[in-house]
Structure 1
Amino acid sequence: MAADWTDEENDAIVADYFSMLADDLVGRSYSKAEHNRLLQAATGRARGSIEFKHRNISAVLQALGETWIPGYKPAFNFQSSLVDVVNRWLDRHPDWLVPIARLGEGVAPAVFAEEAILWIGPPPTQTNRPPPAELEQMAAIARKYDVAERDARNRVLGSAGEERVLAHEHANLRAAGRTDLANRVRWTSHVDGDGAGYDIESFEPDGDKRLIEVKTTNGWERTPFHITRNELEVADAQCEDWRLMRLWNFSREPRAFELRPPLRAHVSLIATNFQAMIL
């Protein structure tokens, strides 16, 4: 039985993985076989072991709410130390968490093209959940590293997601022949700040209001997210109009699904902090 990978070996393969992922995201060609050969020389590990470790890294990135290399399908039951190594790499490269920085200087992100209407599919369900052991492993990692909080703090990611949904709402209404309504769509959080309980005020083609709260991640569709007490209260008070637009896979090909109140019918709400008052 092969010995566990050392921290030095994990550091080497994680750095190599992100080098390939950076090329993959901007469409630059690279050779997986050449990367594998160089790692064999550096670590003494076999080709198959390196391939499987790359798949382990994909699984860790999925759990951390990050994108991964599609050619390395996530494989679970990895060393717990691998999660620390990947997270350490992300801490040392904070610009990686800013989606625009990955596209390269001077590259215009296609995701902001106003004519592009978002792919909006059904939300995740019980029937398409991963196996329980995988889901629990990913959930434990997401809790430990507070993936939802990291996405919530990423102002560039959040603003870019809102801008992408704003473009979608404009394009969707224009495609429906409602330019009059498209011209009235309002980026509320950008103009008025975050206190409204939603980010965008838009419309259905029939004129009904859409009050959209946008939650954006580079990760997969089950990546956890934060929601504030104010947002929940507005969702309950304006349940006919309020929508949560979950935008995922943002750094590659943004996709989305919508949740309508009551949110407790769709998600498990977990209290993560408390207000303390002196007795």
Structure 2
Amino acid sequence: MAADWTDAQNDAIVADYFAMLTADIGGRPYSKAEHNRLLQPAINRQRGSIEYKHQNISAVLKGLGEAWIPGYKPAFNYQGSLEDAVMRWLHRHPDWLASAIRTAMAPSAAALQEGATLWIGPPPTHSNAPAPEELEQMTAIARKYNVAERDARNRALGRAGEERVLAHERASLLAAGRTDLAERIRWVSHLDGDGAGFDIHSFDANGSDRLIEVKTTNGWERTPFHITRNELAVAEQRREDWRLVRLWNFAREPRAFELQPPLGAHVSLMATSFQASFL
């Protein structure tokens, strides 16, 4: 039976993985086989062991709601010390994510002007859930490192996601021949601030309102997200009009799904903070 990986071995392979991931996101060529070959003598591990550990790192990053290397399918049977190694690397390189995916995250000006529509698919359900042990492990990682709060605090990511949905809404209305409505779309959060309970005021082709709250992540479709008390209240008050558009896989190829009120029919709503007042 192979010995457990040491912290030094984990740190070395995590650094190697991020070197490949940076190249992958940036569209630069790299050789997985060459990376593996050079690692073998450096950490005294065999090719197959290194290959599987790279898949383990993909699983950790998936749980963290981050991009991972598509060629390394997430494998979920790993030591807890690997999570620590990934977090150590991220803490040592706090600007890595922003610098590595800035270009990929923000759609080009040309794409926004052309108004390319988004891929809109079905929301996650019990019927399309992954295996229970995988879902449990991904949920545990997301909760442990509070990825919902991280995404909520990432203003650049949030703004880019709203901008992408804005372009999609305009393109959809133009394709439906409703130029009049496309010209009336308002980016409410940008123009008026965050107090409205939605980010974009758009329209259906028949002229009815679409009050859109955008939630964006670089992670997979089941990455948890934050929603405010005010957003929930507006969703209840304007059930016919309010929509939550969830953007995921944003750093690579943005995809989306929509949720309609009541949100409790789609997601588990958990209170994460409390207001304290003096007696």
TM-score normalised to structure 1 length:
0.95
Contact 1:25-1:102 within 8 A present in 2 as well = no
> Does the CA contact (< 8 Å) of 1:58 and 1:68 recur in 2?
yes
Unaligned runs of 5+ in 2: none
Counterpart of 1:18? Answer: 18
1:126 aligned partner: 126
Number of residue pairs matched by the alignment: 277
Q: TM-score by structure 2 length?
A: 0.95
Percent pairwise identity: 74
Contact 2:26 2:101 in 1 (8 A): no
Segment drifting more, 81-90 vs 268-277: 81-90
Report matched runs for 1:189-208 at 5 Å. 189-208=189-208
Partner of 1:42: 42
Question: Alpha-carbon deviation of 1:67?
Answer: 1.0
For residues 5 and 97 of structure 1, do their structure 2 counterparts lie closer, same or farther at Cα, with a shift above 3 Å needed? same
Task: Provide, for residues 19-74 of structure 1, a one-character-per-residue CA deviation record: whole Å limited to 9, x for no partner.
Answer: 11111112211100000011102101000000000000000000000111111000
Q: Secondary structure in 1 aligned to 2:12?
A: helix
Task: Quote how far apart the aligned CAs of 1:4 are.
Answer: 1.1
How far 1:110 sits from its partner (Å)?
A: 7.2
- 1:254 aligned residue: 254
- Whether the 8 Å contact between 2:217 and 2:247 is mirrored in structure 1 is yes
Does the CA contact (< 8 Å) of 2:118 and 2:254 recur in 1? yes
1:162 corresponds in structure 2 to 162
**Structure 2 partner of 1:7:** 7
Residue deviations 1:63-122 (CA, integer Å, cap 9, x gap): 000111111000002111111111222222233333774438xx9477645431000001
Q: Distance in 2 between matches of 1:24 and 1:109?
A: 22
2:128 is equivalent to residue 139 of structure 1: no
Where in structure 1 do 4 or more consecutive aligned residues deviate above 6 Å?
Answer: none
**Is it true that 1:76 corresponds to 2:73 in the alignment?**
no
Q: Check 1:35–1:144 CA distance in 2 against 1; reply closer, same or farther (3 A cut).
A: same
Distance 2:93 2:154 in 1: 14
CA deviations over 1:164-187 (Å, ceiling 9, x no partner): 000111111111111111111100
Q: 1:110 to 1:30 in 2, by over 3 A?
A: farther
Paired letter, 1:38? L
Contact 1:111 1:254 survives alignment (8 Å):
no
Q: State the Cα RMSD in Å.
A: 1.6
User: 2:12, 2:110 → 1: CA distance?
Assistant: 32
Alpha-carbon distance in 2 for matches of 1:115, 1:260? 24
1:221 correspondence with 2:196: no
